[in-house]
Amino acid sequence: MSADNGTARDAVSPREHTMGTDEKRSSAQSTLDFDQMRERLGDDEELISDVIRLFLEDYPLRLAAIKSALEARDPERLRAAAHTLKGSASNLSAPGVVAAARALEAIGSSGDLGAAEAGFARLVSEAERLEVALREIQATRS
Amino acid sequence: MKRILIADDDRVAAEVLARTLARWEYDVTLARDGAEAWETLRRPDAPSVAILDWMMPQLDGPEVCRRVRAEPSRAHAYLILLTSRDTPADTIAGLDAGADDYLVKPFDPGELLARVRVGTRVVGLQERLAARVEELQAALSHVKQLRGLLPICSYCKCIRSDDNYWEQVDGYIAAHSGAQFTHSICPSCYKKLFAELDQGAEDKSLGGLPT
């Protein structure tokens, strides 16, 4: 992603211009903290690539399991499926997905599925953001 | 042979764990859920150390622990529960179910390795102990023993052996113990024997008439 240094941006709003890069970075980190992932995986390049690949293969199945638990109105299945996805995402240091999955896990534990649909929508959107970030990383590594 | 089972339905977590352990030269087997973990652990050639996630489909970590402990031939396996559940109640439940150790996620890789090494050491000790017991049992079956209630003749002192054969006491003792005999004569028998010999010699010199 290129930094905000184009003159066309100045016309939009000066505040937006100066805050832009920092906001982007912190929002990027809330999707994926790559430095932390690297550290957690012991700087093992091969492992990092494999973990990214595995996650991208695996998470759609996790989302499907959560979706099917919601359709079945089964809180226990929801809790279990959300818990697993939370675990995967935390290995990647992906706080956005971790938080959304944790929220769904809590909903499952509580037994009250009222907020589940909204929670799932949030999770899907976080997961999509994460996928974008991961694919960008894959592209720079290959 | 450092073999270890990792059971976790989270493919990413399992891969990270497997790779970490492989780097430390462990031979890793993976199980995707509790049922697969149990099927692997119940086999005679199962790894002796296992890292089990708590929440898994089919059977959860604690249930796998319970089953392993209930199976006499596999009950000595070293089981580590790895989980994000971190209350004391969870720890107690996990250890009571039969886990040897309990690690909370996110785990520190160095700490995990240290605890896995403990497991390998404990299992090694148990295996050496079991081998030693086997050796001793084999040796015991060959040991000569002098024991029990022995039927002995009050007159000639022969002992009746297990196969109903009356054998001389020195033969019996030699066969049933590590003792050996050096045959000699005791003072009173010596006196008696020489008294008889002397008497016999006297009789000869007197014309051989018996007394």
Spatial neighbors of A46 by CB under 8 A, at least 6 apart, are none
Q: Taking the complete model, does pTM exceed 0.95, yes or no? A: no
Residues B49-99: tens digit of each pLDDT: 999 999 998 899 999 999 999 998 888 899 999 988 888 899 999 999 999
Spatial neighbors of A56 by CB under 8 A, at least 6 apart, are A131, A134, A135
pLDDT reported for residue A99: 95
Q: Is the peptide bond before B72 cis (omega within 30 degrees of 0)?
A: no
pLDDT reported for residue A10: 43
Tell me which of A34 and B198 has the higher pLDDT.
Answer: A34
Record the tokens describing residue A134, joined without a space. Answer: 């991961």
Please answer yes or no on whether B12 and A80 come within 8 Å at the CB atom: no
Distance in angstroms (rounded) separating the CA atoms of residues A122 and B144: 79
Question: Which of B68-72, B112-116, B187-191, B192-196 is predicted least confidently?
Answer: B192-196
What are the strands, taking DSSP E only, across B70-112?
Answer: 78-83, 101-104
Spatial neighbors of A138 by CB under 8 A, at least 6 apart, are A49, A52, A53
Per DSSP, B163 falls in state T
Closest chain B C-alpha to A50 CA, distance in angstroms: 8
Distance in angstroms (rounded) separating the CA atoms of residues A7 and B154: 125
Angle between helix B11-23 and helix B109-142 axes, rounded to 10 deg: 70
pLDDT reported for residue B24: 87
Tell me which of B205 and B126 has the higher pLDDT.
Answer: B126
- Answer yes or no: are the C-beta atoms of B134 and B166 closer than 8 Å: no
Kind plus residue range of the DSSP H or E element containing A22: helix A14-31
Distance in angstroms (rounded) separating the CA atoms of residues B89 and B83: 13
Please answer yes or no on whether B12 and A91 come within 8 Å at the CB atom: yes
pLDDT reported for residue B207: 60
Give yes or no for residue B21 having a pLDDT over 50: yes
Give yes or no for residue B193 having a pLDDT over 80: yes
Alpha carbon distances (Å) from B47 to A131, B1, B41, B50, B189: 36, 9, 7, 7, 70
Record the tokens describing residue B173, joined without a space. Answer: 């003792």
Contact list in A for residue B57 (CB cut-off 8 A) is 80
Per DSSP, B71 falls in state S
Q: Measure CB to CB from residue A58 to each of B11, B19, B105 and give the nearest one.
A: B11
pLDDT confidence band for B179 (50 / 70 / 90) = confident
Kind plus residue range of the DSSP H or E element containing B3: strand B3-7
Distance in angstroms (rounded) separating the CA atoms of residues B90 and B104: 10
pLDDT reported for residue B141: 75
Give yes or no for residue B208 having a pLDDT over 60: no
Give yes or no for residue B3 having a pLDDT over 70: yes
Distance in angstroms (rounded) separating the CA atoms of residues B120 and B50: 10
pLDDT reported for residue A20: 63
Give the mean pLDDT of B182-210.
80
Residues B127-170: tens digit of each pLDDT: 899 899 999 988 887 777 777 888 999 999 999 988 889 999 99
Q: Which of residues 140-199 of B touch A (CB under 8 A)?
A: none
Q: Measure CB to CB from residue A44 to each of B8, B19, B84 and give the nearest one.
A: B19
| Residues of chain A predicted below pLDDT 50 | 1-10, 12, 16
Q: Measure CB to CB from residue A47 to each of B19, B57, B105 and give the nearest one.
A: B19
Spatial neighbors of B109 by CB under 8 A, at least 6 apart, are A42, B20
Give yes or no for residue B201 having a pLDDT over 90: no
Spatial neighbors of B49 by CB under 8 A, at least 6 apart, are B2, B3, B4, B5, B77, B78, B79, B80, B116, B119, B120, B123
pLDDT confidence band for B4 (50 / 70 / 90) = very high
Question: Which of B40-44, B119-123, B172-176 is predicted least confidently?
Answer: B172-176
Spatial neighbors of B36 by CB under 8 A, at least 6 apart, are B7, B58
Query: Residue with structure tokens 């196969």?
Result: B163
Contact list in B for residue A47 (CB cut-off 8 A) is 15-16, 19
Please answer yes or no on whether A92 and B12 come within 8 Å at the CB atom: yes
Per DSSP, B108 falls in state P
